[in-house]
Amino acid sequence: MCCQYEFDPSAWKNANDGRCFVYDSDLEDGVWSCPHDAVDGFDHCVFHLDSDARPEGCSVERALLSLLRSTRDQPSDPGTVETTIIGARLDNLSLPNALVSGSHQFPIDLRHATVDGSVVLRGARVVQPLRLCGVTIGGDIDLDGATVAHRLDLSGATIEGDFTLRETVFRETVSVYDVTIGGHVEAKDAAFEKTATFDEATVHDRSSFWGATFSGPARFSGLTVDDTIQFNYATFEDDAAFHGFECEQMLAIEASFEHGGTFIDTTVDGSGDFAGASVPDHLTFERASIGDTLSLDGGTIESIDFDGATIDGRLSAERITVTDRLSLEESQCPSGVDVRGGDIETLSVSLTLAERDAVRVDCRDTSIRSGTLRQPSDGFVLYDVADGTLGDVRFEAPSASNALTGTRFSQTTFEDFDFDHHLDALAAANWDLHATVAPELYRSVGGDESVDERSDPGVLESTYLKAKNGAQKTGSDNVAAEFFLRQLRHRRSGHARSFRENSGFARLKPATRWLRNAGLDLLAGYGERPLRVVGASLGVILGFALLYAVLLPELPPYGSTAGYLVLSFEGFITLVLGGAAAIPNPRIRLLAELEGFIGAFLIALFVFTLTRSIHR
């Protein structure tokens, strides 16, 4: 007698909220009828008998393997093949270390089955496809060490216990779509050779894919994990999609992405750990929400996109290498961004802040070859580029004159930096790169309280030396001149500091160096201010004219008091038209010769400074 069990999709849909996986092609007269023989003395087959009614010694596992190994011909209609057991009622399904294989390739079809206990295929070799859509399992699914040679479909299933697949090898696609798992998922060192889909699944405990290999596309979009999920040391050889992924604790993916990863609209209530990740393609976190710190420390990534993302903790990307672009457009990072020691091809930052908020983007010791660093319309961003290297990087703000306000320069190297683009901002800062950030503001956003470059002349001199060299390389000669002035003035401050720190004869050397430095600044602005030479020359002429008036009060040259000035001019330029005035006093002659010497020096200095300024 044939089993009397029937599955009515309409009745099932009226009694259940989920999706029905029995389709019209499976039905006859609106229902699916079980094709198996009933157990002697019963109306149902071994698979549809209630567990308490099943005779002793009647094994579901033996019956299933017997069906698989049957040599009789199977019908062409997959809904009536003997391995189709829709709506089965099982205590357990335990086939550890078994060879689950048949004389045909029809799937083991347990759609909408109910397993009160666990499904155990630990160490098994499963050759048949497994169709477990909509099943309800009261215990665990244990696939540890198994090899699944064909498709595994768990779509819509409910697993009240754990789902373990340690070191499991899946040769074909795996679908865990819309599955609810009451326990944890453990997939350490599992191998997914084709597409692995966990979209829209829910896991109520922790999950681990530690060391797993995804050779095909990995789909985790819409997955919800109520605890921590780990992908450390996993390898994604194809695309990895986490669109709309949600995690209540920590997301740890210290993994290798060979074809990029997308975390668009992802929500992680805890922290995200991508430290050491290797991604030779694009990694995107558009509109993602991270409740705590997100770490990308030590990663090597082609490009990263955080546009529209919100990271409540710190975005930490120390020592990161980005070979293309790191973008933070319209992002919210209230705890700051840290890319210290990184190597970034292009950095684009435009943070969104609340009014009066201030955050720090820490780019110390970072090489940035190009990019744009913007100030927000509300709030304030401190860009710390101390000890870093800036290429074609542009600083922007709502007002061009404030573009560099809030940027901390200290011993920064400039390679291809366009100073001419920032002329308004440099002029507004009076060319004082070191003074664009107040120390109290620097400390308020987490800066080192022990650091104050303004009190260290050596650091300031080095800062302006590097800025001058960078300006010269790009042909910004006028900018280089301003930085050169400040470089030498801070060098003078260094001499003064050395003088104060020494005593006795040890003070002689810094004192003479300070005097030489101050003299050059006073006379010619270190060769950058020709008008200062003109002013010094006029001062010498007037000064000597007064000396002549003091020494020759009764015998003014050329018969008038203006002769003192004429005599001083003649001495200064060592040029006399016609006959010179008779000057019998040898002291006057000595002064005139001294004035001539000084004049020759100042004229030469004027020619040098004028030529230098015209060249700039």
* Band of pLDDT at residue 350, cut at 50, 70 and 90: very high
Q: What tens digit of pLDDT does each residue of 67-104 get?
A: 877 644 455 554 445 688 999 999 999 999 999 887 77
* Distance of alpha carbon 287 from the chain centroid: 15
Do 512 and 576 reside in the same domain of the chain? no
Whether 564 is covered by a domain: the verdict is yes
| Poorest-pLDDT segment among 201-205, 384-388, 434-438, 577-581 | 577-581
> Is the same domain home to 595 and 517?
no
Q: Are residues 125 and 144 in the same domain?
A: yes
Instruction: Report which DSSP code applies to 581.
Output: P
Whether 347 shows a pLDDT value over 70: the answer reads yes
What pLDDT shows up at residue 437?
Answer: 85
Long-range CB pairs of 588-592 (<8 Å, 24+ gap) are 588/548, 588/551, 588/552, 591/544, 591/547, 591/548, 591/551, 592/544, 592/567
pLDDT at 577 over 60: no
Q: How many residues does the chain have?
A: 616
Task: Look at residue 584 in the predicted model and tell me its pLDDT.
Answer: 62
DSSP single-letter state for residue 75: P
Helix (H, G, I), strand (E, B) or coil at 605: helix
Q: In the structure, what pLDDT confidence band is assigned to residue 66 with cuts at 50, 70 and 90?
A: confident
Q: Is the pLDDT of residue 427 over 50?
A: yes
Q: Are residues 492 and 558 in the same domain?
A: no
Lowest mean pLDDT among 58-67, 232-241, 414-423, 447-456: 447-456
pLDDT attached to residue 607:
83
**Closest residue by Cα to residue 346 from 322, 382, 363:** 322
CA dist 272 to 229, 253, 325, Å? 10, 8, 20
pLDDT tens-digit profile of 7-44?
A: 999 999 998 888 999 999 899 999 999 988 898 889 99
Residue 582: which pLDDT band, with cuts at 50, 70 and 90?
A: low
For residue 232, is it within any domain? no
- pLDDT of 447 > 90? The answer is no
Prediction pTM value: 0.81
pLDDT computed for residue 615 by the predictor? 64
Enclosing domain of residue 174: 1-183
> Which of 142, 128, 38 has the alpha carbon at shortest distance from 83?
128
Is 379 domain-assigned?
A: no
Instruction: For residues 176 and 87, state if they share a domain.
Output: yes
The DSSP code for 28 is B
The helix/strand/coil state of 343 is: strand
**pLDDT given for residue 126 in this prediction:** 94
Please state, in angstroms and rounded to a whole number, the distance separating the CA atoms of residues 125 and 186.
19
Q: Is position 56 within any domain?
A: yes
* Confidence at residue 60, expressed as pLDDT on a 0 to 100 scale: 87
Does the structure show a pLDDT above 70 at 342? yes
Please say whether the beta carbons of 127 and 103 come within 8 A: no
| Cα–chain center distance at 168 | 34
Q: Mean pLDDT throughout 205-234?
A: 97
Q: How far apart are CA 487 and CA 563, in angstroms?
A: 44
23 assigned to some structural domain:
yes
Q: What is the mean pLDDT of the chain?
A: 89
Both 596 and 505 in one domain: the answer is no
End residue of a domain, out of 183, 207, 242:
183
Query: Are residues 73 and 139 part of one domain?
Result: yes
- Strand ranges inside 312-412, DSSP E: 315-316, 321-331, 337-338, 343-351, 358-362, 367-374, 380-384, 389-396, 407-408
User: 411 is written with which tokens?
Assistant: 């011993």
Query: Is the separation of the CB atoms in 310 and 288 below 8 Å?
Result: yes
State whether 461 and 569 are in the same domain: no
Query: Would you say residue 453 has pLDDT above 80?
Result: no
Angstrom CA distances, 17 to 11, 134, 475, 525, stand at: 12, 12, 72, 85
Pair (21, 100) in one structural domain: yes
Contact 369/394 with Cβ under 8 angstroms?
no
Could you give the CA distance from residue 295 to residue 300 in angstroms, rounded to a whole number?
13
**CA-closest candidate to residue 608, choices 491, 535, 526, 536:** 526
Residue labelled with tokens 């006959």: 579
CA torsion angle 11 16 21 22 (round to 10): -10
What integer pLDDT is reported at residue 386 of this predicted model? 94
- The pLDDT of 116-142, averaged and rounded, is 95
How many folded domains does the chain comprise?
3
Query: 254-292, pLDDT tens digit by residue?
Result: 899 998 899 999 999 999 999 999 999 999 999 999 999
* DSSP state for residue 31 in the 8-state scheme: B
| 498 and 541 assigned to the same domain | no
Which residue stretches of 100-234 are H helix? none
Domain contains 74: yes
> Which residue, of 145, 166, 183, is where some domain finishes?
183
What pLDDT does residue 591 have?
Answer: 79
How confident is the model at residue 552, as a pLDDT? Answer: 76
Q: Is residue 326 part of a domain?
A: no
Of 79-88, 187-196, 544-553, highest mean pLDDT:
187-196
pLDDT over 50 at 339, yes or no = yes
Statement to judge: residues 7 and 156 lie in one domain:
yes
Name the helix (H) or strand (E) containing 163: strand 163-164
- Encoded tokens for 155: 């779509």
Nearest-10 crossing angle of helices 562-573, 586-615: 60
376-411, pLDDT tens digit by residue? 988 889 999 999 999 999 999 999 889 998 899 999
* Better-scored residue on pLDDT, 431 or 593: 431
Residue where a domain terminates, one of 156, 183, 210: 183
CATH code of 586's domain:
1.10.287
* Structure tokens that stand for 360 in this block: 């720090």
Amino acid symbol at 429:
A
- On whether residue 146 sits in a domain, the answer given is yes
Question: How many C-beta atoms lie closer than 10 Å to residue 423's C-beta?
Answer: 15
Residues 96 and 161 in one domain: yes
